[in-house]
Amino acid sequence: MKKKKVLSLLLGAAMVTSLAACGGSGSSNTSTSTQTAASTETAASTQTAASTETAASTEAASTEAAPVAESRETVTFMVIDLNAGQSASGEYADQIIQTIDDYCNVDLKLDWVLNDSLEERGNLELTSPKTMPMIMTWGGSAVKSNVASAAKEGAFVNLNDYIWDASKYPNLSQLDPSAAEALTINGQLFAIPRSRELGRYGLSYRQDWADKLNIAEPKTPDDVYNMIHAFTYDDPDGNGKQDTIGMEMCLYTGPFDIIQTWFGAGNGWAEVDGKLIPVFQQPEYKQALDYIKSIYDDGGMPQNWAEIPTDTWSNGCKNGENGVYIDVMDSGRRIWDYFVDNNVPAVTGEGLASMNLLGPINGRTPCLNIFNGYFTLSSTTCDTPEKIDAALRLLDRLNDNEMRLLTEAGIEGINYNVEDGVMIKLDADTSNDAQIALAQNYKGLNQMLAYVPNYTPTPWTATNERQDAQTAVYLRNREAAIFNPAQALLSASETYQSASSVIESYISEARSQYINGVIDEAGLQAAWDRWLNEGGSKIIDEVNALYSK
């Protein structure tokens, strides 16, 4: 479908929205960005007329459109909210949702759940399968035991029976086999991954800070440590105050996973002498842990990092409080976008502030996941072929370029303009209340995207230097990416599925406590031993039995 078609859909949706007294869709994090049933009923006939005016024959189209509208299946969709309750809450949010409805031929009802509450909410839904949202979003790069158990008991639709039909689902049918294998239990594909770029993770930093302090591009962990120290204590912003902290950090511990690979540790698991072991059993893991602790002890990361929520994480770099950002490269690019969009001057006095999207250190960075979460279809609420098709059709068509552009950038002429083939954002100034509200038209809607068959940096053809830098680092990272050799095997380990949700926390909590000085090496070892004694040893045995087949 070409852009003209999307624009015609938007015009039709605009008429519907105006009749439905379109306003903000609220800031609640549950079911607030979709049209109410009442407004949908009020606007149904007008929607039919508006959407059929573009047809070759208005009379014929009007006759055929009404049954299509009536036959649309409602699709309930539980989606991650990364925007503190402000996802899809702008003045044009309902119009965008209506456009998605028209494009995908569904009646979409969104249920927003804050990221930090996602696992708790998912567990709650599993206890009430008859009211479970038809599509549910789950987080993480591995299958949790409760989800695996539910899959074995038939809680989710077996997608092998559907998505490989390329004529019906041209996007989903191109699902990567490795991702499908990681989400298959007892031969049943129970989820669609939220696919991600393999080389997505690594190091980004303030290039203008580095230029001011004459710091060369870091190659080793020691180089990074020295940069973080300088960004903390050598006044990189030149204001004469000690008001910067070198490395940005929050309660999400993904940066620690990235840093571990710099020292030679594996990605979750590693193959050592032909056997798979969890990375905390590698000496390189402890070496990396001591390195991170030294950054913390030196004041190079926020002392309250474990209390900083994920939805405000990048604010430190944006606001000039931090200079090193270790996570996904696209977040580093978005910080750079912020500097450009808001005309933040470089501390060198020349040009605008910028980020170096560097990527690997010591030639290593993790492929933290083939996917970042996944979507399941409830077998109790997707209980007819028509409902299953509606849910899959939505997930499939959302991957089309038109829908990617709409959910990632909003409406042309409202959220952005295109000049000489280049997108000019109209909602980029986060110091401007009107532009903040404008960006809320579409913010968060890209969390519905599976990015299958592939994840590309942008859905449009024209790019800028920042997007080009992101693409370049993706390619560089692919060569350096460290994979988890056990990822596809863990879901088949009975003990992992029954015990991992509890015992995995022993490792993650001990790591954080050790970094913060709450426990010493003896406490760290005690946590590792507890993991082994409460099921970890059996997990290692089961994973290796599968690995040797």
SS (H, E, C) 360-424: CECCEEECCCCEEEEEEEECCCCCCHHHHHHHHHHHHHCCCHHHHHHHHHCCECCCEEEECCEEE
d(CA 541, CA 490): 11
In the chain, pLDDT over 70 holds for what percent of residues?
85
Residue 152 lies in a domain: yes
Tell me: do 205 and 189 sit in the same domain.
Answer: no
Tell me: do 73 and 212 sit in the same domain.
Answer: no
Average pLDDT, the chain: 85
In this predicted structure, the answer to whether residue 514 has a pLDDT above a threshold of 90 is: yes
d(CA 159, CA 37): 30
Tell me: do 443 and 497 sit in the same domain.
Answer: no
Domain span at 212: 201-366+473-482
In this predicted structure, the answer to whether residue 30 has a pLDDT above a threshold of 80 is: no
Tell me: do 339 and 221 sit in the same domain.
Answer: yes
The mean-pLDDT minimum among 203-207, 242-246, 278-282, 371-375 falls in: 371-375
Whole-number pLDDT of residue 445: 97
pLDDT tens digit sequence for 63-94: 333 334 457 999 999 999 999 899 999 999 99
Tell me: do 59 and 77 sit in the same domain.
Answer: yes
Whole-number pLDDT of residue 37: 33
Is the bond preceding 453 in cis, omega lying within 30 degrees of 0? yes
Q: What is the count of structural domains for the chain?
A: 3
Tell me: do 157 and 54 sit in the same domain.
Answer: yes
* 441 vs 454, residue with greater confidence: 441
Asked if residues 485 and 269 have their Cβ atoms less than 8 Å apart, the reply is: yes
Given pLDDT bands bounded at 50, 70 and 90, which one contains residue 300? Answer: very high
Tell me: do 18 and 155 sit in the same domain.
Answer: yes
In the numeric block, which tokens belong to residue 30?
Answer: 């549950």
CATH number at residue 62: 3.40.190.10
In this predicted structure, the answer to whether residue 541 has a pLDDT above a threshold of 50 is: yes
What pairs with residue 482 in β-bridges?
A: 366
Tell me: do 116 and 208 sit in the same domain.
Answer: no
Tell me: do 290 and 156 sit in the same domain.
Answer: no
Give the alpha-carbon dihedral of 324, 325, 330, 334, to 10 degrees: -70
Residue 116 C-alpha from the chain's centroid = 13
Closest CA relative to residue 332, chosen from 501, 470, 515: 470
Whole-number pLDDT of residue 454: 67
The mean-pLDDT minimum among 130-144, 392-406, 479-493 falls in: 479-493
Distance separating the N- and C-terminal Cα atoms of the chain = 46
Residue 458 lies in a domain: no
In the numeric block, which tokens belong to residue 279?
Answer: 């990375």
Whole-number pLDDT of residue 372: 80
Phi–psi pair at 106, nearest 5 degrees: -140, 170
In this predicted structure, the answer to whether residue 27 has a pLDDT above a threshold of 60 is: no
Burial annotation 212-251 (CB, 10 A radius, 16+ → b, else e): bbebeebeebeebbebbbbbbeebbbeeeeeebbbbbbbe
d(CA 259, CA 519): 21
d(CA 543, CA 377): 28
In this predicted structure, the answer to whether residue 155 has a pLDDT above a threshold of 50 is: yes
Residue 360 lies in a domain: yes
Give the alpha-carbon dihedral of 490, 491, 496, 500, to 10 degrees: 100
The average pLDDT across 525-535 equals: 98
In this predicted structure, the answer to whether residue 429 has a pLDDT above a threshold of 70 is: yes
The average pLDDT across 37-44 equals: 33
Residue 453 lies in a domain: no
In this predicted structure, the answer to whether residue 28 has a pLDDT above a threshold of 60 is: no
- Name the residue type at position 518: V
The average pLDDT across 22-41 equals: 33
d(CA 117, CA 272): 36
CA 204, 278, 497, 530 torsion: positive or negative? negative
pLDDT tens digit sequence for 378-427: 999 999 999 999 999 999 999 998 999 999 999 999 999 988 777 888 99
| DSSP 8-state class, residue 168 | T
Residue 128 lies in a domain: yes
pTM over cut 0.85: no
Tell me: do 275 and 389 sit in the same domain.
Answer: no
Residue 300 lies in a domain: yes
Whole-number pLDDT of residue 455: 57
Tell me: do 528 and 444 sit in the same domain.
Answer: no
The mean-pLDDT minimum among 18-32, 285-299, 441-455, 517-531 falls in: 18-32
In the numeric block, which tokens belong to residue 207?
Answer: 């290039």
Helix or strand or coil: residue 492? coil
Whole-number pLDDT of residue 459: 60
Whole-number pLDDT of residue 388: 98
pLDDT tens digit sequence for 180-227: 888 888 889 999 999 877 788 999 999 999 999 999 999 999 999 999
Tell me: do 310 and 351 sit in the same domain.
Answer: yes
Residue 468 lies in a domain: no
Whole-number pLDDT of residue 494: 87
Closest CA relative to residue 439, chosen from 110, 108, 87, 113: 87
Residue 465 lies in a domain: no
Task: Give me the helices (H) in 105-238, please.
Answer: 118-126, 145-152, 177-182, 207-212, 221-233
In the chain, pLDDT over 90 holds for what percent of residues?
68
